[in-house]
A and B are shown apart, each in its own frame.
Chain A
Amino acid sequence: MKLTLHVWRQAGPTPPGRFVRYDMTDVSPDMSFLEMLDVLNQQLIARREEPIAFDHDCREGICGACGMVINGRPHGPQRATTACQLHMRAFPDGAELWIEPWRAKAFPLIKDLVVDRGAFDRIVQAGGFITARTGSAPEANSIPVPKWDADLAMDAAACIGCGACVAACPNASAMLFVAAKVSHLGLLPQGQPERSTRVVNLVAQMDAEGFGACTNHGECMAACPKEISIDFIARLNRDYIKGALSRRPSARGDGAES
């Protein structure tokens, strides 16, 4: 295969970036998208040019490290597929590809296609957990969980935290990410005691990080490599209203209610 690539190159957060054109020949349709970039990087290194920086790790579609916008679509054109699992056979011979980083205020750029997604970690730190200190757990089968609830919780928990939902959203909203965490934990009996405080704290942190609001475009669900449904956003909204109204003052984590 032959390809024409236009890759976003930016040396750091401040200097302006631009698209740089690279022509590639001899691309195998059996290569993954990232392997194609590996080959390009080897060529750049051989020419003493700086290779393209991009995040990647497991290359199995589960760690959530990789992510780039390919021809306007986060992770590229294939349904339910991360960039690392996307294969070149998804493109026609001679394709022209525009490759960009996630673009969102809350994800500041580090270099080329690499952005800082620390905002997602801080959202989880704000309450995306069940307080269960090591050693304090009851017998696992003492609390039955209906299979339907467990399965639905698993659907939400499948989120890999890649940020494609934010990149796809015209408002750069993180609602799908937050909704997935709120739903995963809120669907399980173990998650009930903190359900209200959790949703309120997570939404507050999401806002503080500078993510936009949700206006029901549904682009997030279309881009999500794990096909997480926007039904969870409806669930989040319901929980949020309930939580905001019934909220008891509470500290996060340790200690008594404050």
Chain B
Amino acid sequence: MVTVEQLPDLVCPAGSLPALRAAVDNGADAVYIGFSNTTNARNFPGLNFEMQDVVRGVRYAHERACKVMLALNTYPQTENWHLWAEALENASDLGLDAVIMADLGLLQYAVSHYSNLPLHLSVQGSATNQFAIAFYYEQFGIKRVILPRVLSIAQLQNVIGATPVEVEVFGFGSLCVMVEGRCIMSSYVTGESPNTAGVCSPAHAVSWEETTEGRQSRLNNVLIDRYKPDEAAGYPTLCKGRFQTGSDAYYAIEEPTSLNVLPIIPKLVEIGVAAIKIEGRQRSPAYVATVTKIFRTALDAYQKNPQRYKPEQDWLTQLQRVSEGCSSTLGALHRPWQ
């Protein structure tokens, strides 16, 4: 009989204090947050934490045995470096449990100034193989790496076997098909990218128009998609638009679907994934509550009876309802070995 002694940590998004409480109350092992400025990759208007909210959030989470991690995962530039340096100081002062970073200079700064602060390598650090992870481990002693959503299960297993660093993978939410940290499509069209401004396809560049050919979405005036009258319209993220090489428009880069690893939780646990991350700091507290609760239930059900684990239809239906494009995929994880 197989027993599961250690479940992966369930790491949930918190774009606000209510979202943080929703994650904690529904069984997150850790939440991740960002300050309200360009220092994190979800730098959206009205989102994220001011200092006093961080204090309250950390207290709320710690009283309930939940960790709080800070996303500091954009790339500082020479003249605004001080924002990131201040954020590190605050992270240290406010008792955050880990800082999630990508910039080499900043990682080095953290090691030399705040040696007790546990460091996680952000998905924006583009580490897709064991040598890259070994580099970050050797130079900065990173405790955990969050892998880009580009590896298959077999590749993931191989990487986990070859590194002493904990491996965190994305389990649910928007699916980025590019190697994160190396995608500048957004700045090509709008001038702002995840690396430079903490945003992808920013809301201020979005416009909608009704035309005789249907409703259209644009990003900085570039036509991203055109919808038929009965078609549900989605947010015009660049890589999820319909474009054409010939006469027919199609999802040339990626369909607007969500990642969902619920069906392969046993495999992820078996190969030694240390943490499963839920995407969506930009989403509502209700989204956070729903997804956290279902993943908590699923992980606990698996631990209780690993042989009989099977995602319940009700979980999938609920997750489907909050999914982008109302459908889901295993992403690169389902690919056969090369």
Task: Verify that A and B bind, or say they do not.
Answer: no
Report A's interface with B, CB cutoff 8 A.
Answer: none
Q: Could you tell me which B residues sit within 8 Å of A by CB distance?
A: none
